[in-house]
Structure 1
Amino acid sequence: MAANGTAGEADEFWLFGYGSLIWKPPPHFDRRIPGWVTGYVRRFWQVRERNIQDHRGTPEAPGRVVTLISRSFWEQLTDHHNSAPDKVWGVAYRIKPDRVAEVKEYLDIREINGYTIHYTPFHPAPGVDPSLLPRNHNRDHPIRTLVYIGTPDNDQFVGPQDPQELAEHIYRSTGPSGPNRDYLWGLEAALDELSPESGDKHVTDLSDRVRAIAAREERKQGPKHQPLSVLQREHQHHEQPHDFRRASSIDEQEETEKAP
């Protein structure tokens, strides 16, 4: 057992993903475990437009991505989404020991735009194959994981927003990596695949609002022949299985993330 009461081998490095890392895994992982952390709230309160791995907007209309907020701090704020699940679901990845330094460097580049390193206990979901867990793991001692968080004191943190205004912003924002709404819908779909209880009302409500905006905009355009409508692209995304294969190199992973 680690000194802080969490389980894990001394040479193991585990990473917790609660946003795009759920469906865009880091390179050189050899184990992927669904589960949750506690003590946080997930919110679309972080700006994202300059990171080389995930452009979801422009300087004029920066996209929005999720960050984790300490629940004790969140409880002091006025949030239009005034409830949040006790568990923040996501995925923990174990990085191969001989690749830890390389992956840390890769992640520092990927998450450098406003995110800082923290450590948090991770609870594997019930039914996870025991062979995937650290040898000394038991349900009373979670796994120590590294997590990147955009804390409220970083310049990219925007704080509480009106849900409809936020949904309109997400719908409008587009960057080199694609529409901001695809990130939102991708997160919703990835969370739904983890567990029957892994949904997040904040994410679902924003997704529903953006779908309604997309339908409204399509009605304005009229019955024009288009290759794929916004709603058709979103539906297609939900039908396609997520690719959770292990990337053999950082270059391969970066190419994967650039693919539509």
Structure 2
Amino acid sequence: MRRPAARHRSAALQREAAEPESQKAIGPTAELCYQPSMIADDAALSDPPPSDTGLPPSPFGTHQIPHRSGEPVWVFGYGSLMWNPGFRFVDRRDATLYGYHRRFCVYSFRYRGTPEAPGLVLGLDRGGSCRGVAFKIAPEDKPLALQYLWDREMVNGVYRPTEVRLRITSAPDWNHEHSVIDASTFVVDRDHQQYCPELSPDTAATLIATRRGQNGPNADYLLNTVAHLTAAGITNTALHRLAARVTAISTELDTHSD
């Protein structure tokens, strides 16, 4: 599968991927590596007309999501896809992905931040594990569903389509040997300018608590994500602890502003 170019400056900022626990991340660490000089002008933030998927078409063209012709495909959701897939599916199972974890590792220049003061949104980064949802898409539904996913996720190249192996955790009707499946998902591209290496918990919490974008406060995005994870039975994660820090910082800031 040909990997799309990750850094098309004029297209990179049209919008972040749809809004959208972790084990401890494995990889390099850095504090706020983002540089405002990387950002294109504001004209790059305008949306093109919707495509057949109902979304603005991806600047990376036709989807390149791994799948086998004539067969169903499983897709792994770890963020908003879990509760808002947006495509037709024929089966849905709780699943765990090993080797990646859910983290606020993508700078948001538009919806939850600005080019001058970027927020953070979710991505799948290397290391640990991640509980999420696997969706099975029938062969006849693949063309529209996979293009929809491509248009939704491949807006600026910060994510890349990847085939992964999942363990299905809600399959009492499956035997054990069939509980491991191949699926497609989107992982963060660590070479992209919007990738954010791991921050200290306090630094990440302060950033999220103080940033705001077109869709509102960055904190709302985190708290909404945590609420949906809790409703799905995914609790006591790194995101829950991050949300507690953000809430405490927001409360302190409100107190000082009175």
One-letter amino acid matched to 2:91 = R
Q: Which residue of 2 aligns with 1:228?
A: none
Partner of 1:94: 136
Q: Deviations over 1:7-27 (max 9, x none)?
A: x99621211111221222232
* Partner SS, residue 176 of structure 2: coil
The answer (yes or no) to whether the contact 1:89–1:191 under 8 Å persists in 2 is no
- Cα deviation 1:140-189 (Å, max 9, x = unaligned): 34121111011312221110112112111112222222322122112222
Instruction: Give the structure-2-normalised TM-score.
Output: 0.65
Question: What fraction of aligned residue pairs are identical, expressed as a percent?
Answer: 32
**Rounded Cα–Cα distance in structure 1 between residues aligned with 2:122 and 2:185:** 13
Match of 2:98 among 28, 35, 38: 38
Query: What displacement does 1:200 show?
Result: 5.5
From 122, 129, 136, give the equivalent of 1:66. Answer: 122
Report the counterpart of residue 152 of structure 1 in structure 2: 190
The code of the aligned residue for 2:191 comes to D
Q: Which runs of 5+ in 2 are unaligned?
A: 1-67
d(CA) in 2 for partners of 1:26 and 1:200?
27
Provide the secondary structure at the position in 2 that maps to 1:15. Answer: strand
Decide whether aligned partners of structure 1 residues 107 and 30 sit closer, same or farther in structure 2, where only a CA change above 3 A counts. Answer: same
The unaligned stretches of length 5 or more in structure 1 are 1-7, 72-85, 131-136, 223-260
Which residue of the other structure, out of 138, 145, 164, is the alignment partner of 2:202? Answer: 164
Paired AA for residue 66 in structure 1? L
* Deviations, residues 216-235 of structure 1 (Å, cap 9, x unaligned): 1222344xxxxxxxxxxxxx
User: When you count helix as a share of all residues, which structure comes out higher?
Assistant: 1
Q: How many equivalent pairs are there?
A: 188
The CA distance in 1 between the partners of 2:94 and 2:217, in whole Å, is 26
Structure 2 counterpart of 1:203, one-letter code = L
Contact 1:184 1:207 in 2 (8 A): yes
Asked whether the equivalents of residues 29 and 94 of structure 1 are also in contact (C-alpha less than 8 Å), the reply is yes
Counterparts of 1:67-216 in structure 2, within 5 Å, are 67-71=123-127, 86-112=128-154, 113=156, 114-126=158-170, 128=171, 130=173, 138-141=175-178, 142-195=180-233, 198-199=234-235, 201-216=237-252
The residue identity in structure 1 corresponding to 2:190 is P
Where does residue 258 of structure 1 map in the other structure?
A: none
**2:70 is the counterpart of 1:16:** no
Q: Do the aligned residues in 2 keep the contact of 1:68 with 1:151 (CA within 8 Å)?
A: no
- Alpha-carbon spacing, 1:155–1:100, altered in 2? closer, same or farther (3 Å): same
SS state of the match for residue 154, structure 1? coil
Match of 2:14 in 1: none
